[in-house]
Amino acid sequence: MTGFVWLAYQERNSQDKTILIIWAASALLINPFIKISLGRTVWNAIDVVWALILILTIWKDTTSWRKKNGS
C-alpha cells in the first residue's frame, strides 16, 4: 500500500490526473484495514493490470527523461 501512496504522491503535479487516481484507488483497494474479498481470478486480473500500468509508467518516465537529457 505504501508503494501506491508514494506513486500517487509523485504524480500529484502532473497535468493528467489519471495515473494519480489509479495509484490512489490501488492504495485504497489493498489497504490493510478493510478486507475486500474478491475472487482469486479477479485478484489475478488486477495484478496483471497493475503490472502493465507499472511497466507503462516506467517506460513513459524513462522516455521523457531521455528526451529532456538529450539521450
Give me the helices (H) in the chain, please: 2-10, 18-29, 40-69
**Contacting residues for 31 by C-beta, under 8 A, at least 6 apart:** 1
Find cell 528526451 and name the residue. Answer: 67
pLDDT tens-place string over residues 11-39 = 888 888 888 888 898 888 887 788 878 88
Query: pTM above 0.95?
Result: no
In the structure, what pLDDT confidence band is assigned to residue 71 with cuts at 50, 70 and 90?
low
Closest CA to 20 of 1, 32, 31, 7: 7
